């Protein structure tokens, strides 16, 4: 069963990869080395993504409950 239907579009089915700051002062407190990327931008509308890291493949999957699972 796909994670998204017309009743549950992808935009509401996925949670952000990391919590986003609520205000500018919270964003200013993030370390300069931290980059925030939304899961929506990583998955690009799909429910799975294969990530290559040091020659190994990992699968990032968005569940129907809006959780993310990373498997080797």
Report DSSP letters for 17-71, one per residue. Answer: SSPPPSSHHHHHTS-TT-----HHHHHTT-SEEEEEETTEEEEEEE-TTS-EEEE
- The tokens of 45 are what? 């509308």
CA gap 72, 70 in Å, rounded: 7
Does 2.10.70.10 match the CATH number of domain 10-71?
Answer: yes
What is the pTM assigned to this prediction? 0.54
Chain centroid offset of residue 13 CA: 11
Amino acid 32: pLDDT: 77
Q: Where are the domains of the chain?
A: 10-71
The pLDDT assigned to 1 comes to 42
Per-residue pLDDT of the chain (72 residues; tens, 9 = 90+): 444 444 444 444 455 555 555 555 555 666 778 899 999 999 999 999 999 999 999 999 999 999 999 999
| pLDDT reported for residue 8 | 45
């Amino acid at each position: 069963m796909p994670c998204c239907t017309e009743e549950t579009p992808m935009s509401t089915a996925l949670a952000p990869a990391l919590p986003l700051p609520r205000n500018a002062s919270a964003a200013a407190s993030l370390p300069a080395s931290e980059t925030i990327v939304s899961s929506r931008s990583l998955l690009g509308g799909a429910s799975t993504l294969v990530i290559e890291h040091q020659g190994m493949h990992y699968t990032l999957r968005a569940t129907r409950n809006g959780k993310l699972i990373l498997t080797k």
